[in-house]
Amino acid sequence: MIKIFLYLFALFSLSTNLFAKSEYVKDGINLYNKNQFEDAKFKFEQDIVFNPKSELSYLYLSKIFNKQDKKILEEKNLNTVMLLNPKNEEAIYNLARLKLKSSDYKKSKELNKKLKSICSKFCNKSDQLKIEIENLSKK
């Protein structure tokens, strides 16, 4: 009887935490869309406390740091997304763009090649990025 009670309690606690986590992400995205970046950042960080493997939270944190021109933090979060999911097209694309802006043409080209090999949503952006990399690396 006690085992059943503990099992039900654990199940209830887990489902409550999962609901709370998804609410942090949902709230964070809503705040991000309203350009309330500091409040959104807090929500994504809260989600990461409960779910350290929250790919979406790290991706949005990178977007926030991009808007705030905090390139080191943006790159750190993009690298975390790629560690969690090496096939996240948006993270690969954003990291390639970031490397291009810092004149790291070799790394940008390498990331874009990786993106091209797996792309489904970012194929056109990958093609455009390739042209941009070629044009800038010639200068």
pLDDT tens sequence across 73-103? 999 999 999 999 999 999 999 999 999 999 9
Q: How confident is the model at residue 139 (pLDDT cuts 50, 70, 90)?
A: low
Task: Measure the CA–CA gap between 7 and 81, rounded to whole angstroms.
Answer: 33
User: Which structural domain, as residue segments, surrounds residue 79?
Assistant: 2-138
- Residue 4 confidence (pLDDT): 54
Distance CA 1, CA 20 (A): 29
Q: How many domains does the chain have?
A: 1
Tell me the whole-structure pTM to 2 decimals.
0.81
75: domain CATH number? 1.25.40.10
